Amino acid sequence: MSLYRLIGEFLRRHWVSYASSGVMLAGIACLIVWIPRQIGHLVDGLAAQRLSGKALLAELAWLLAAGVVVYFLRVGWRLKLFAAAYRLGVELRQRLYARLALQGPQFFQRRRTGDLMALATNDIDAVEMAAGEAMLAGFDGTLTLVLVVAMMSLGVDARLAACALLPFPFMAWSFWWISRHVHTAWRLSLDRFAALNDQVQETLAGVRTVRALGLLPRSQAQFSQLAGAAADASLDAQRWEAAYEPAVGFTLSAAGVATLGFGGWLVWQGQLTVGQLTSFTLYLGQLIWPMFAAGWVLSLLERGKAAWGRLQPVLDAPLSVDDHGSIAQLTPGTLAGQGIRFSYPGQARPALDDLSFELPAGRTLGLVGPTGAGKSSLIRLILRHYAPEAGSLRWSGADVHDYTLAALRGAIAWVPQEAFLFSATVADNIALAKPDASREQVIAAARLAAVHEDILRLPQGYDTPVGERGVTLSGGQRQRVAIARALLVDAPLLLLDDALSAVDTDTEARILAHLREARVGRTVIIVSHRLSAVADADHTLVLHGGHLIEQGDHAQLLSRGGWYARQWRYQQLEASLDAD
């Protein structure tokens, strides 16, 4: 879809606002072209001594009234037109947010956060201005130009009008040539602003790491370089926009010289009155706005086209995970995988290969194995962040692809490896997925996650703001708040993806004891490097290099003397040494 088609569809949906603005602009244009003609009559009347006293005051009063009406009409069209244009910005931001919210990790691996933020700010603002100010200036300028030229030709003298319009083809060629450079310059400016935005976002997100490694001077140098490049690109775009003004000035100056020369000769010959020449000169002055409007419109449209060229691919990008499921409600049942094979994009080695398992409802499954074994990959497939290349993953007898994403993810409470907290209070973060939860329910969930005592030690308890990404809490506290958030939601499936890695063994034991009580009747999958976290699981899968190498309950795996048994003995020895 082109920018013009986008604006055209928006105009059709909001035609009332644009039509009313157009009527008011038409009224303004009519009054504007009437005023010079009236002044010309006044000049001729005064020269012929036909106007004096009350008649002169009446004519002046009409001119004053016309000015007042023009003022209020200008206020009216601005209220109507810009209110409509701002709605386009709101719609585009809503579309962009909705599209980004549905995209999977694969999309965000290709796009940078700062660039996406720039699309939601600068780029949408540019499109909004093309739909607002450009439409206004285009309509008003065109209407004023037509009426002024008509009055110059029909109301004054067609020969003088033809003479005055001779330089205008030069201006048209200049505008075409400048517009090409304006588009290129604004595209570069928007790209460089996006790069600057991304640098700032990444630096602020990792500011503690930057400080710890002494990278502030290098970060500041990079920022200065990007800021300078963005400023240079913006300045270059402004230079090209400024080139419209000399073209307009040269054209109107040439037209003015031609008008005074030829018009003076017509007056000398008695073919034109002084009042008519005065009116024509005023009309010529009124062409300044249509000419500047033309340059302004071209500039806004080129800027909008450059922004839309960056924005449209994101809005039209296919979803990395299709949401074509038809089942909108999920009933708890057996979760089973059969012959699952999955590789990350661009990776030749599969993360999971020929994996099969079965997890009845209300049971607990453990996933263990060395780093890179494929444990988190299976979690991502269950969450439908990715889709398997081969095999099937079924829940309650239906393939997970047959469920809508909202139904599937609404039935899952997930605690990821890196707990993410929002810039809100502790209580708000725990109640994130259940905002109507009472304070007693929030506290009960915090007790299950063994974080209640830690919260009480905070300055404001549960009402303590945690800062951006939970920066005021320790890693273990963030993990336990995330666990409490998951436990508060009564979801059929609980996924703990190495969610206890940042807590000590004593705290882990307390959380696991609480989980045994809380997970009664709930299906649970626990991913962990500590085998103690899955020792009570009903069934445990041992993965290595994407392959299932062992499975069974804790006792069965110990009796086989494989990887699980060796790792268990090692961790128990390590724990005993730490205790000593």
Q: For the segment 256-295, what is each residue's pLDDT rounded down to a tens digit?
A: 777 777 777 776 777 776 766 776 777 777 677 677 777 7
Identify the bridge partners of residue 403 per DSSP, sorted by sequence position: 327
| C-beta pairs of 164-171 under 8 Å, 24+ apart in sequence | 164/255, 164/258, 164/259, 164/280, 164/284, 165/255, 166/254, 166/255, 166/258, 167/250, 167/251, 167/254, 167/255, 167/258, 168/251, 168/255, 170/247, 170/250, 170/251, 171/247, 171/248, 171/250, 171/251, 171/291
Is residue 44 scored above 70 in pLDDT? no
Structure tokens at 362: 């209300």
| pLDDT at residue 468, rounded to an integer | 73
DSSP three-state, residue 241: helix
Identify the bridge partners of residue 412 per DSSP, sorted by sequence position: 493
DSSP three-state, residue 229: helix
Least confident of 250-254, 303-307, 384-388, 533-537: 250-254
Per DSSP, helices labelled H in 392-471 are: 405-410, 426-430, 439-448, 452-456
Question: Averaged over 523-530, what is the pLDDT?
Answer: 88
Residue range(s) of every CATH 3.40.50.300 domain in the chain = 335-579
Q: For the segment 348-396, what is each residue's pLDDT rounded down to a tens digit?
A: 788 899 899 999 988 889 999 888 888 888 988 888 888 888 888 998 8
| pLDDT at residue 574, rounded to an integer | 74
Residue range(s) of every CATH 1.20.1560.10 domain in the chain = 3-315
Is residue 439 scored above 80 in pLDDT? yes
> How is residue 193 annotated by DSSP?
H
Q: For the segment 459-474, what is each residue's pLDDT rounded down to a tens digit?
A: 888 888 887 777 778 8
What's the CA angle centered on 542, arms 539 and 547, to 5 degrees?
125
Query: Which residues 6+ apart lie within 8 Å of 303 measured at CB?
Result: 126, 129, 130, 182, 183, 186, 237
Maximum C-alpha span of the chain: 122
| pLDDT at residue 508, rounded to an integer | 78
**Crossing angle between the packed helical segments 15-47 and 133-150, to the nearest 10 degrees:** 30
Contact 126, 304 (CB under 8 A): yes
Question: Which residue type sits at 16?
Answer: V
Question: Averaged over 513-530, what is the pLDDT?
Answer: 80
| pLDDT at residue 341, rounded to an integer | 92
> If you average pLDDT over each of 69-78, 95-104, 139-148, 150-159, which comes out highest?
95-104
Contact 139, 294 (CB under 8 A): no
Q: For the segment 153-195, what is each residue's pLDDT rounded down to a tens digit?
A: 776 677 777 777 777 778 778 877 887 888 888 888 888 888 8
Reported as a pLDDT band with limits 50, 70 and 90, residue 518 is low
Is residue 579 scored above 60 in pLDDT? no
> How is residue 553 annotated by DSSP?
-
Question: Averaged over 295-310, what is the pLDDT?
Answer: 82
Query: Which residues 6+ apart lie within 8 Å of 532 measured at CB?
Result: 505, 508, 509, 512, 571
* CA separation, residue 89 to residues 2, 75, 78, 129, 465 (Å): 16, 21, 16, 9, 32
Is residue 580 scored above 60 in pLDDT? no
Secondary structure tally for the chain: helices H, strands E: 23, 10
| pLDDT at residue 540, rounded to an integer | 92
* CA separation, residue 462 to residues 58, 97, 437, 511 (Å): 74, 30, 13, 19
Reported as a pLDDT band with limits 50, 70 and 90, residue 415 is confident
Chain position carrying tokens 């008649």: 55
CATH number of 3-315: 1.20.1560.10
**205: nearest Cα among 429, 472, 469:** 469
DSSP letters for 398-409: EEGGGB-HHHHH
| pLDDT at residue 53, rounded to an integer | 65
Instruction: State the DSSP H helix or E strand holding residue 413, giving kind and residue range, or none if neither.
Output: strand 412-415
Order the strands of the 398-399 sheet from edge to edge. Answer: 352-359, 335-342, 390-395, 398-399
DSSP letters for 333-397: --EEEEEEEE--TT-SS-SEEEEEEEE-TT-EEEEE-STTSSHHHHHHHHTTSS--SEEEEEETT
CA distance 432 to 421: 10
CATH of 335-579, one of 3.40.50.300, 3.30.70.20, 3.40.190.10, 2.20.25.90: 3.40.50.300
CA distance 478 to 420: 8
CA distance 439 to 442: 5
Q: What is the mean pLDDT of the chain?
A: 80
| pLDDT at residue 367, rounded to an integer | 92
Least confident of 15-29, 225-239, 318-332: 15-29
Question: Averaged over 71-77, what is the pLDDT?
Answer: 75
Question: Averaged over 237-260, what is the pLDDT?
Answer: 77
Task: With 0.85 as the threshold, say if the pTM is over it.
Answer: no
Is residue 335 scored above 70 in pLDDT? yes
